[in-house]
Amino acid sequence: MSQEDFIAHIIITGSRQAGISSFISQKAKDFEPHDEVGWGIDIQTTSVNLDDECGCTMHFYEIAGTFPLDSLRKILRKKNVGLAIMFDLSNKVSIELAELLYKRIEEKLNQKSMPSNKFLLGSHLDEDREVTREEIDALITIMGEDTHYLEFSSKTGENLEESLQSIAKIITSR
Ligand SMILES: Nc1nc2c(ncn2[C@@H]2O[C@H](COP(=O)(O)OP(=O)(O)OP(=O)(O)O)[C@@H](O)[C@H]2O)c(=O)[nH]1
Ligand SMILES: [Mg+2]
């Protein structure tokens, strides 16, 4: 069995400077060029072990201010897709922006094409916390109670690998 056993596709966005690049690139082994998706989406690939025997290649599709709908629809048609929204736990404004971003995505995609695997990611766990549990719970309510909430630090590595692994396991149903 090899790292290629499972593939997960994660559409990811977040407030500016939330820490998306740091989160993905800490473990990234390769940055492979992909030409299937097209303009407007930054794609990065990393891999993670699911258990002793098999691994998962994780393709992250980062969308910024604009939502290239045609490209998004192509990703949504794939097997094993998730949507992740990231905010910075040490910055109150960050979670407000995350909420706005989520609502914009929900508005653009209709409910039916929304990925069923949703993740809310809190970065900067190593810093003083400004965002309260109530604010996080409020966003989870908006995103849906089945949203998976994970927090980590890309600086110290606390819960970082575990978070990547949880995302991969949930998406691939392992
Ligand atoms: N202390 C701390 N700093 C972090 C963490 N994650 C990211 N940073 C820092 O936060 C800043 C932004 O991180 P990036 O990974 O570039 O964030 P981004 O979301 O990709 O940012 P943009 O693409 O520029 O919007 C950088 O200075 C990182 O070093 C973290 O978990 N803890
Ligand atoms: Mg970035």
> Which pLDDT value is given to residue 3?
47
- pLDDT tens by residue, the chain, 174 residues: 454 589 999 999 999 999 999 998 876 655 555 555 556 788 888 989 998 889 999 999 998 767 777 788 889 999 999 999 999 999 999 999 999 999 999 988 877 789 999 999 999 999 999 999 999 999 999 999 999 999 999 999 999 999 999 999 999 998
Cβ < 6 Å from ligand 1: which residues?
Answer: 14, 16-22, 123-124, 126-127, 153-155
Contact status, residue 142 vs residue 102, Cβ threshold 8 Å: yes
Report the alpha-carbon distance of residue 115 to residue 21 in Å, rounded. Answer: 22
Copy the structure tokens of residue 169.
């396991």
Strand partners, 174: none
Question: Given this model, what pLDDT does residue 37 score?
Answer: 54
Rounded CA gap, 46 and 39, in Å? 21
Instruction: Give the distance, in angstroms, between the CA of residue 131 and the centroid of all CA atoms in the same chain.
Output: 19
Listed in sequence order, the residues at least 6 apart from 78 whose beta carbon sits closer than 8 Å to its beta carbon are 9
Distance from the alpha carbon of residue 21 to the mean position of ligand 2, in angstroms? 4
pLDDT at 69: 78
Task: Give the pLDDT score at 35.
Answer: 54
Domain locations along the chain: 3-172
- From edge to edge, which strands make up the β-sheet containing 41-49? 41-49, 55-63, 6-14, 81-88, 117-123, 148-151
Q: pLDDT at position 31, please?
A: 53
Q: Whose CA is nearest to atom 6 of ligand 1?
A: 19
Which superfamily does CATH assign the domain made up of 3-172 to? Answer: P-loop containing nucleotide triphosphate hydrolases (3.40.50.300)
Closest residue by Cα to atom 7, ligand 1, is: 19
The reported pLDDT for the residue numbered 4 is 57
CA atoms within 13 A on the CB side of 158: 11
